[in-house]
A = this chain, B = another copy of it.
Amino acid sequence: MPETKTKKSDDFNEWYNEIVELADLCDKRYPIKGMNVWKPYGWKLMNNVDALIRDEMSHTRHQEVYFPLLIPESYFKKEEEHIEGFGSEVYWITHAGLNKLEERWLLRPTSETAMYPIFSLWIRSHTDLPLKTFQIVNTFRYETKQTRAFIRVREIHFFEAHTCHIDFVDAEKQIQEDKDIAHRLMKKLCLPYIFSKRPDWDKFAGAYYTISIDVLMPSGRTLQIGSIHQYKDNFAKPYEISYETEEGSHEYCHQTTYGMSERLLGAIIGVHGDDKGLILPPEVSPIQVAIIPIIFKGKDKDVLDACKKLQNKLEDEHIRTHLDLRDITPGNKFYDWELKGVPIRIEIGPRDIEKKEYVLVRRDQEKKQSLSQDSATTAIKIALENIAKDLLTKADQLLKNNIHRVFTVDEAKKKAGIIELPWCGKEECALEIEAMLEGNTLGVPLTDTDCNKVCPICNKNSVSLMRYAKTY
């Protein structure tokens, strides 16, 4: 049976690179760097995460759309900051068949410039607002840095919500809804996170402001798994997205976007996994319960019948269950499902049947637990809930232990993880600290914003805290 050569605790990044392939999430042997093959198990996991996102979108009345992948260069260039931000990161199509195109087309790095000219046709009146749409699509960025599965890739599995509103205040309400969505979603993935308001020089190209959603990985580096942008009317003006008010005047829309990607998988893998492999949050695990018959020689009809009976019972309760009938030893099956992160393993052998029991093993614990057959379904449901709770608690602890509020750069240098330092509000001071810490600014906390101390660089009074971390 395969195992990671590297221990998570010894070398997180190497462990990560090994586990994504060993656990059958992806195949990195595709010949274009940063474009990996999604294997069935990984794709199923991603689809389960997408299903949670679609649920959230449905409850908040966002409508799913699909816009073309290709964007004409002239459309792309309407918003100046946007093209500056993305111009060096896009792939260009120049030829179709044997013909050279009259105008170059690019692969969407994100869909503002494909959607907004059409939004300007869809929106006529205040009664068309708010317009709340989203899509889950492949997007493309020409990454020149080292790629890493699910974390830094060139074909990105991307969720993007785009909304249009009558004014800034209504757009701000959307931002609040987005934060609530993030909160509910991340809880289901058992992932604690922080919101930070990005500094002006590091916001999304074209945005009025950007809130990043960051997860702390066990390596001490943060991973940005999503972002929420307030665009104000920055895009509405060049793309002419305006509406007629009740009073008959014409106003530009205010817009927001909310984006997340397969980095959610990167966070799940990194935060929860251990030396044995993945540990998947029950809500999204492709298999929630693996049933393993304990038969060493030949077949035992009673054991198989008991296994099938339990499988049927669990499936009736919509618990995703797999009965492992492969012709390998139970021990090898244990290793395999541990590697793949299945939250619960049920063992059923001849002695268990005599005692009218099953054996339950939680992926996140060592110990075996006996279940009476009669109450097994309930016990398994409770165990799934407890696993989710415990994963979140453990991850919460990791995050809390690694956010350090300090007041000098020297103190900061002694800490790993996320550093919060007083900030005077000047770009140059933050950049100097970035350099001294060999990290990046994450941004300003949304609540508990200031500490009323002085900037460790210029000694001026702080206007807020600023967060720094080494990042992926």
Give A contacts to B, CB under 8 Å: 27, 29-32, 35-40, 43-44, 47, 63-70, 72, 75, 87-99, 105, 107, 114, 117-118, 121-122, 133, 138, 140, 142, 144, 155, 157
Q: Determine which residue in A66, A72, A75, A91 has the highest number of CB atoms from chain B within 10 A of its CB, and name it.
A: A66
B87 touches A97 (CB 8 A): yes
Report the nearest B residue to A101, measured CB to CB.
B91
Cβ–Cβ contact A65 & B91, under 8 A: no
Q: A30, A105, A140 — which one has the most chain B CB atoms within 10 A of its CB?
A: A30
The answer to whether residues A142 and B68 also contact, given A40-B63, A118-B27 and a CB cut-off of 8 A, is no
C-alpha gap A95/B87 in the complex (Å): 12
Give the residue name and chain of the B residue nearest to A157 (CB): B66
Residue in B38, B75, B92, B122 whose CB lies within 8 Å of A31: B75
Residues of chain B contacted by A155 (CB below 8 angstroms): 68-70
Known A90-B97, A93-B92: A43·B72 in contact at CB below 8 Å: no
A299 to chain B, nearest CB (A): 19
User: CA separation between A105 and B140, bound complex, in Å?
Assistant: 13
Which residue of the partner chain B has the closest CB to A99? B142
What's the Cα separation between A121 and B30 when bound, in Å?
A: 11
The residue on B at minimum CB distance from A31 is B72
Distance between Cα atoms of A95 and B9 in the complex (Å)? 41
Do the beta carbons of B93 and A89 come within 8 Å of each other?
no
A417 to chain B, nearest CB (A): 33
Q: Nearest 3 CB-CB pairs, A to B?
A: A40-B63, A38-B66, A35-B68
Tell me, in angstroms, the Cα distance from A91 to B93 when the chains sit together. Answer: 7
Q: Which residue of chain B lies nearest to A88 when distances are taken between CB atoms in the complex?
A: B97
Q: Is the CB of A88 within 8 A of B92?
A: no
A–B Cβ pairs within 8 angstroms, 12 of them: A30-B67, A31-B75, A35-B69, A37-B67, A38-B65, A40-B63, A40-B65, A66-B157, A69-B140, A92-B95, A94-B94, A99-B142
Q: Which residue of chain B lies nearest to A134 when distances are taken between CB atoms in the complex?
A: B40
The closest CB in chain B to the CB of A105 belongs to: B32
Q: Give CA–CA (A39, B122) in the complex, Å.
A: 11
Contact of A95 among B43, B66, B94, B98 (CB under 8 A): B94
Q: Assess the A39–B65 pair: CB atoms within 8 A.
A: yes
Which residues of B have CB within 8 Å of A90?
96-97
* Cβ-defined contact, A40 with B133, below 8 A: yes
Contact present for B118 and A68 (CB under 8 Å): no
Q: How far is the CA of A308 from the CA of B245 in the complex (A)?
A: 32
A68 touches B29 (CB 8 A): no
> With A117-B31, A118-B27, A118-B29 known to touch, is A36 a contact of B68 (CB < 8 Å)?
yes
Nearest Cβ distance between residue A74 and chain B, in whole angstroms? 8
Contacting pair A121 B91 (CB below 8 A) = no
Closest B residue to A35 using CB positions: B68
A119 CB to nearest chain B CB (Å): 10
Contacting pair B91 A66 (CB below 8 A): no
Are B67 and A43 in contact, CB atoms less than 8 angstroms apart?
Answer: no
Q: With both chains docked as a complex, state the minimum distance between the C-beta of A174 and any C-beta of chain B, in angstroms.
A: 18
A118 touches B30 (CB 8 A): yes
**Chain B residues, Cβ within 8 Å of A72:** 31-32
CB-CB under 8 A from A35, the residues of chain B are 68-70
Q: Are A121 and B68 in contact (CB under 8 A)?
A: no
Q: Which residue of chain B has its CB nearest to the CB of A153?
A: B68
Contacts of A75 in B (CB 8 A): 31
Q: In the complex, which residue of chain B has the Cβ closest to the Cβ of A96?
A: B142
Complex contacts, A87 vs chain B, CB 8 Å: 97
Starting from the known contacts A29-B118, A31-B75, 17 additional A-B residue pairs (CB-CB under 8 Å) come to: A27-B122, A31-B72, A35-B68, A37-B67, A43-B65, A43-B66, A68-B155, A69-B138, A88-B98, A89-B97, A91-B105, A92-B93, A93-B93, A94-B94, A96-B142, A99-B142, A138-B138
CB distance from A118 to the nearest CB of B (A): 6
Give the docked Cα–Cα distance between A105 and B43 (Å): 24
Measured CA separation A243–B47 after assembly (Å): 31
Contacts of A121 in B (CB 8 A): 27, 29
Q: With the chains together, A88 CA to B97 CA distance in Å?
A: 4
Within the complex, what minimum Cβ distance (angstroms) separates A178 from chain B? 19
Most buried by B among A44, A92, A122, A144: A92
A34's closest neighbor in chain B, by CB?
A: B68
Give the Cβ gap from A79 to chain B, nearest Cβ, in Å.
16
Chain B hits for A47, CB < 8 A: 64
